[in-house]
Amino acid sequence: MVEAVRCVTSSRLSSGILARLMQAASPSQFNAAGAGGMLLGVLVACVGAGVLVGWAAGSAGIGALVGAVVGILGGIFAVYRRYRDAF
């Protein structure tokens, strides 16, 4: 049984084999540049805080390293929280 559907060809009815009218997909709420900026911002803030704490404790390098580790994890969490409903 062939069902009559509206299609993109010039004829009014089609056999269902030809392409149907396409509908636009709903726009995504995900912004890749915004996610990257958020990752970078959280990372830089955590490294800066780590450098300050490390400097106060006597080793800015170790503070920067700990801040980078915390910043990577914090950035991932921040992007997840911001864009969790985008997909």
Cβ atoms 67, 43 nearer than 8 A? no
Domain count, the chain: 1
- Angstrom CA distances, 27 to 22, 34, 38, 51, stand at 15, 16, 21, 41
What pLDDT, in 10s, does the model give residues 24-79? 666 667 788 999 999 999 999 999 999 999 999 999 999 999 999 999 999 999 99
Tell me the two tokens of residue 41: 């911002």
Domain assignment of residue 6, yes or no: no
pLDDT for residue 64 = 97
Domain span at 76: 32-83
Q: Specify if 7 maps to a domain.
A: no
Q: What is the pLDDT of residues 42-53, one digit of tens each?
A: 999 999 999 999
pLDDT of residue 18 exceeding 90: no
Compute the radius of gyration of the chain from its Cα atoms. Answer: 26
Residue at 17 is within a domain: no
